[in-house]
Structure formats: structure tokens, C-alpha cells
Structure 1
């Protein structure tokens, strides 16, 4: 299982204003006891993450998310490598998420966008040709909707050569 770091204060807000992921709920309680508020909040946040994945067309029935504090663990038996990489990025680029844990057969190439960077500059750096920016754009669809709509702190998937 590998862990990737993300910029916790950057990304799409799906938890609501000022509701970044907080410490996880305490250990399980008896079934007849009411759920602690923190446990309800954690489940609400997991549901919000799943809704975002569904909106992106990435939330299949075999995708399971576990939220512990600001770390999300992703498990999926049916996802191929490309889909798993997109799941990692879709969840990690959510405001309030600092780390994503997932099982991938090979270490993917990710790039964290710096202030002032463009897809062309990133393509030049990683692929050797600024004109290959569209390959990076396509590798990050559906999370990216336009090549010019990237932001500092966003993590992008870099396709092979």
C-alpha cells in the first residue's frame, strides 16, 4: 500500500465551508448506543467523497473509501491502473484531504502544480515537448474540464511518454 501527499488546503470543496477532514471518531460503540457526532461527521464526509467520485464517473460499487482524519484509504478490486490513479487524484485533490492510501502495481508519475505553471510547461518538463500538454489534459479527465483550469497545489497524473 502506497501513500501520496496532497496539499490539504487546495482543491475542490465538497465538505462545506471550514469543514476539512478532522480526526477520526473513537473506537466502535455498542450497536444500541447512539453514534458519536464525530462518527456521523466522518460518514457524511465519506458520502460526500463518494458523491464526487460518482459525479466524475469513477464511483463504482467496488470502490471503498475509509476516512481517518485527513487520510483516505481507497480500495477497489475491479479498477484498472489508470482508474486507480484517477481515483487517488480525484480524492486527493479535495480540500481537507492531505494523504491518500491505495494499492497500485507500479509507482505512478504525479506532478503538483506550482504557481504560474501551465500544462505546456508541465508537458515540457515531464514529456520533453510543450505541445504534448493535451496528453496530460486527457490523462486527467474527467477531473480537468479545460486545459487552462489548473491551480497551484493540484496534483496531476503524468501519462507515459
Structure 2
């Protein structure tokens, strides 16, 4: 199983806060402090559900995709997804604010996937020139990152992108 690092404080914000997700209830005056484990479990469950909703919105929610969240690390398991879909799942989850690492098994391939973390001031054209030899090949990077990208001009520092090897 491979692990990919992401910029934890960059990405789409989908989690909100636990306080915003649960209704406020007044605490009894003499109540003991509840154990931390159930609250942490509830928060992890809420975050996994938010991740699943995001994958569904991106049409990446195959029936066999299973997510496990431990702290800021998300493990993705899927038996039916092809390599391209698994790479997109890794990026879709990793580019969520609050996720620092994604763990997944990718189907076998001759070459390891190439990911690039966007730096301030970079464009898809500059990234394409660096990896693919021509700025005109930016559209190949854009297409390799759909549906996570909706516009080639809307990338941001800290975002991780797939670099296609067959472009």
C-alpha cells in the first residue's frame, strides 16, 4: 500500500466544524465529561460521509469504494477501480482541506503515477512544459484531472495534480 502526502491546509473545504454539524444541546449541570473516543468516532464518521458525498458529486463513488479515516490520513480501498480511477480517487480525497495523507493500493502499472503539487504562480501551461515538454499540452493535464478540475485556469497553490504519462 502506497501513501501520498498532501498539503493539509489547502484544498476544498467540505468538513466544516463538528459544532456546525451537530445540534447544540444544553449540558446537564452535574454531568461528567463524556469520553473522547465516541466524539472522535462521530467526527470521523461525519468526515467520511462528507468525503463520500464529495466523491459522489465528482461521479467517483463506485459501489466498492471504501474510505477509512484516522486523524488526517484517509485510506481508500476499491477492488473494481482501474488505475486511472484510483489515481483520481487519491487526488479527490487528498485535495480536501484537512487531509494530509492518502493511503491506497493502485493496480499494477509499468510506471509509478506522477503527481505535482502546484506552487504559487504556476499555471497548467508551465507545468505541462516542465513534465510534457510543451506548454500546449496543458489540456492533457486538465483532462487527466477531470472532474476535480472544472476550468484550466482554476488551480491553486497546494493542489496536487495527476500528470498523464501518455500525453
**TM-score range normalised by the length of the shorter chain:** 0.7 to 0.9
What TM-score, normalized by structure 1, do the two folds share?
Answer: 0.88
Q: Secondary structure at the match of 2:141?
A: helix
Q: 1:148 to 1:70 in 2, by over 3 A?
A: same
Count of matched residue positions in the alignment of Structure 1 and Structure 2: 146
CA RMSD of aligned residues (A): 1.4
Matching residue of 1:103: 105
In structure 1, how many angstroms separate the alpha carbons of the residues matched to 2:135 and 2:17? 37
In the alignment, which residue of structure 1 is the partner of 2:43?
Answer: 41
Q: CA deviation at 1:17?
A: 5.1
Gaps in structure 2 of 5+ consecutive residues: 20-36
Residue number in structure 2 paired with 1:64: 66
Higher CA-based Rg: 2
Does 2:13 align with 1:13? yes
Write the mapping of 1:1-161 to structure 2, written as runs, cut at 5 A.
1-16=1-16, 36-104=38-106, 105-106=108-109, 107-160=112-165, 161=167
Residues 18 and 56 (structure 1 numbering): CA distance in 2 closer, same or farther, change over 3 Å? same
Question: Which range is displaced more, 105-114 or 118-127?
Answer: 105-114
**Per-residue Cα deviation, 1:7-65 (whole angstroms, up to 9, x for no partner):** 0000000001599xxxxxxxxxxxxxxx8111111100000000000000001110000
2 CA distance for matches of 1:14 and 1:44?
Answer: 11
What stretches of structure 1 move > 6 A for 4+ residues in a row?
A: none
Distance 1:42 1:18, change over 3 A: closer
Moved more, 36-45 or 112-121: 36-45
- Partners of 2:116 and 2:3 lie apart in 1 by 15
| Unmatched 5+ stretches in structure 1 | 20-34
What is the CA–CA distance in structure 2 between the aligned matches of 1:103 and 1:16, rounded to whole Å? 29
